[in-house]
């Protein structure tokens, strides 16, 4: 089974605006795009129109619909420009539990995919009953580091993946940088990974992404 790889562009200077477009153009040269998702900044989501063959996700979405909600990113507005999924509750943008519940419930009604980020096993247990499309486990202390969660906490990955059986797929994040990290995660029950700096901050992001996807 091919891994699902979600690449979070975050707000890195080499992945915003023109640089975001340049990265997407390079990533688009990978022939097999199955399982590849690109989570880009709100200001760049218009690029879905430029790269219609790529699966582009938002980095955040709000629970409200259209209306007097200054600064909001609604599911409806994302779908209007061809975006059909988003990260939610990333460690760098945590939101209240009640808002998570509202947003996931709405996403299911609107056929919109949510990658719900969690920080520990308790949150996996708590939110798995909501059945979001994905739950991504990212211990905050490992984000951006050189130690993969698949190496440091394999027992939690195995437990979490079992809690997510059924309609919710399980992703592993934080410190993921190599094919071995992905292989270990999938052997423990994950469907794939959520990765940011391991690709985006690499000197050659396209080469790094290719190394994670080729010849699996």
CA–CA gap between residue 8 and residue 171 (Å, rounded): 13
Active site residue 158: no
CA–CA gap between residue 115 and residue 26 (Å, rounded): 24
Cα–Cα distances (Å) from 17 to 40, 51, 62, 70, 110, in that order, read: 10, 14, 22, 22, 29
Choosing from 138, 141, 155, 158, which is the catalytic residue? 138
CA–CA gap between residue 34 and residue 194 (Å, rounded): 15
Strands (E) across 19-178 are located at 36-40, 56-58, 85-88, 113-118, 134-137, 169-173
Choosing from 4, 90, 119, 123, which is the catalytic residue? 90
Which of 50, 25, 87, 30 shows the shortest CA–CA distance to 209? Answer: 30
Which of 139, 106, 134, 143 shows the shortest CA–CA distance to 122? Answer: 139
Report yes or no: 19 and 46 within 8 Å, Cβ to Cβ.
no
Report yes or no: 138 and 174 within 8 Å, Cβ to Cβ.
yes
Active site residue 138: yes
* Apex 177 CA angle, 58 and 193, nearest 5: 45
Active site residues: 90, 138
């Amino acid at each position: 089974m091919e891994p699902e790889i979600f690449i979070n562009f975050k707000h890195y200077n080499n992945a915003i605006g023109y640089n975001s477009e340049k990265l997407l153009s390079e990533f688009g040269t990978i022939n097999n795009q199955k399982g590849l998702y690109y989570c880009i900044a709100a200001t760049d989501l218009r690029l879905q129109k430029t790269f219609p063959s790529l699966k582009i996700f938002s980095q955040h979405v709000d629970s409200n619909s259209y209306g007097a909600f200054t600064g909001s990113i609604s599911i409806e507005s994302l779908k209007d420009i061809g975006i059909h999924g988003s990260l939610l509750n990333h460690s760098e943008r945590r939101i209240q539990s009640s808002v998570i519940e509202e947003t996931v419930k709405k996403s299911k009604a609107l056929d919109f995919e949510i990658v719900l980020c969690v920080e520990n096993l308790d949150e996996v247990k708590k939110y798995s009953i909501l059945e979001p499309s994905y739950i991504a486990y990212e211990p905050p202390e490992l984000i951006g580091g050189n130690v993969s969660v698949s190496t440091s906490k394999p027992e939690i990955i195995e437990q979490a993946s079992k809690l997510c059986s059924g309609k919710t797929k399980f992703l592993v994040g934080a410190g993921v940088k190599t094919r071995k990290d992905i292989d270990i995660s999938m052997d423990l029950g994950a469907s794939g990974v959520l990765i940011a700096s391991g690709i985006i901050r690499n000197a050659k992001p396209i080469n790094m992404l290719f190394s994670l996807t080729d010849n699996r």
